[in-house]
């Protein structure tokens, strides 16, 4: 078992992790304490200063150290059924402005080319009506496979039921849903583990004294699970304080998020850290924090994209938990091929995550974090020969 699982031992002291506590409230107009222990009503940007309980900082440091390790062993499947021919795959990212979804879609496109499958995509821009329309468009276009990226199936339940009735294979990549009624298979990268890692880093890098503001997007279950893991880590952090939580939508990234971030930071002048739900939202917050007269804050986020790893390398961002998101797209296509062959899917291909800090950022800045393993070569070997090795 990986060292990051030591967080379970930490959480036993608070009975939080095993009980599944620490979930954030996704409704607008609330501020939740870092440990998930209290909620204060108010505006979405209102402040609430709450200390977390004391805990085992040494165990958190071990999680951080392990999260910087390099994967050397293939964690995915070792055998594959034959490749189905003449398949049309339609990929629907949550919103391409959210880089994580865009990178997963890029992975689907590359994997489809490797298999000789026809590929199409459409960007619904994070708007539910357009997500429903995109799914209906895929059905009308005659897709054999539809891959959803971080889209909550309950939002597209109508066309999803139609796709299921037509026998279309539907894969949900990073959807993190328990609603699997019309879903053929899911692919995950363990976002809660990512949250545990980032929380452990915040606690140890601040010597247990972080004053942070949080920027969260309640649209996506994957973001909520990251936040849950982050909160669970902070239960072991002495005197870590969340000063405010501001909630935004993907459609705010290129419009109002920077201004909102400026207001949150100005309202919380003692903040020295900023937690951000994912990289593409972190960029305007980094730009806001860099403005003349703004207080310096250390920004942490997720996804491991090229731009943000470059920010980490250059000292403009403190840390990032990178996920091999193109790999998720390849894994989704692999699952689709398995299901088309009436074989069981590999729902957890163990796609790796890695903590990116200034000491290791340079090696990933040109490509983004890709997982330290040539996953494309492994899948191509699987598909051409039916097997691969660790």
Q: What is the CA radius of gyration of the chain?
A: 20
Positive/negative CA dihedral, 208, 270, 281, 285 = negative
CB-based contacts of 16, cutoff 8 Å, min separation 6: 22, 35, 36, 232, 235
pLDDT per position as a tens digit, 175-218: 988 878 899 999 988 999 999 999 999 999 999 999 999 999 99
* pLDDT for 55: 60
C-beta separation of 138 from 160 below 8 A: no
* pLDDT for 238: 82
The β-bridge relationship of strands 298-303 and 319-323 is parallel
Residue with tokens 């440990």: 35
Sorted by where each starts, the structural domains of the chain and their CATH numbers stand as: 3-67+191-323 (3.40.50.2300), 88-189+325-349+375-385 (3.40.50.2300)
Assigned token pair, 118: 């026809």
What SS3 class is residue 349? coil
Q: How far apart are CA 243 and CA 315, in angstroms?
A: 24
Give the side-chain half-sphere CA count within 13 A for 381: 14
Q: How far apart are CA 214 and CA 69, in angstroms?
A: 27
Q: How far apart are CA 361 and CA 139, in angstroms?
A: 41
Positive/negative CA dihedral, 211, 278, 379, 164 = positive
* pLDDT for 303: 96
Regions of the chain short of the pLDDT cut 70: 1-55, 292-293
Q: How far apart are CA 81 and CA 91, in angstroms?
A: 22
Q: How far apart are CA 12 and CA 273, in angstroms?
A: 27
DSSP class per residue in 36-50: SS-EEES-TT-EEEE
* pLDDT for 41: 27
What SS3 class is residue 20? coil
Residue with tokens 């995915």: 76
φ/ψ of 251, rounded to 5, equals: -70, -10
C-beta separation of 182 from 152 below 8 A: no
Q: How far apart are CA 207 and CA 368, in angstroms?
A: 28
């Amino acid at each position: 078992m990986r060292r990051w699982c030591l967080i379970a031992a930490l959480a036993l002291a608070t009975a939080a992790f095993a009980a599944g506590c620490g979930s954030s409230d996704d409704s607008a107009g609330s501020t939740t304490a870092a440990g998930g222990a209290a909620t204060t009503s108010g505006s979405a940007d209102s402040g609430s200063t709450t200390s977390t309980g004391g805990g085992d900082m040494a165990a958190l440091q071990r999680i951080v150290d392990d999260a910087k390790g390099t994967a050397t062993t293939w964690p995915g499947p070792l055998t594959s059924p034959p490749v189905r021919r003449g398949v049309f795959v339609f990929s629907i990212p949550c919103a391409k402005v959210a880089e994580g979804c865009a990178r997963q879609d890029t992975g689907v496109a590359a994997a489809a080319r490797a298999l000789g499958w026809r590929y199409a995509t459409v960007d619904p821009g994070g708007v539910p009506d357009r997500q429903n329309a995109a799914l209906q468009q895929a059905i009308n276009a005659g897709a054999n496979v539809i891959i959803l990226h971080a889209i909550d199936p309950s939002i597209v339940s109508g066309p999803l039921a139609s796709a299921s009735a037509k026998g279309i294979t539907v894969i949900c990549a990073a959807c993190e849903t328990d609603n699997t009624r019309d879903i053929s298979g899911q692919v995950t990268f363990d976002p809660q583990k990512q949250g545990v890692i980032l929380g452990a880093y915040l606690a140890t890098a601040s010597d247990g004294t972080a004053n942070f503001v949080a920027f969260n997007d309640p649209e996506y279950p994957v973001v909520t699970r990251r936040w849950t893991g982050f909160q669970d880590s902070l239960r072991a952090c002495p005197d870590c304080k969340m000063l405010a939580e501001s909630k935004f939508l993907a459609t705010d990234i290129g419009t109002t998020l920077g201004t909102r971030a400026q207001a949150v930071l100005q309202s919380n002048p003692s903040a020295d850290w900023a937690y951000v739900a994912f990289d593409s939202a972190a960029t305007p917050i980094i730009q806001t924090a860099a403005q003349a007269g703004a207080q310096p804050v250390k920004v942490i986020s997720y996804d491991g994209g090229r731009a943000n790893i470059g920010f980490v390398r250059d000292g403009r961002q403190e840390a990032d938990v990178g996920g091999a998101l193109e790999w998720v797209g390849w894994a989704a296509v692999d699952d689709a091929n398995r299901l088309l062959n009436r074989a069981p899917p590999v729902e957890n291909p163990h796609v790796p995550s890695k903590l990116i800090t200034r000491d290791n950022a340079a090696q990933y800045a040109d490509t983004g974090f890709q997982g330290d393993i040539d996953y494309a070569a492994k899948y191509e070997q699987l598909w051409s020969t039916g097997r691969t090795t660790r």
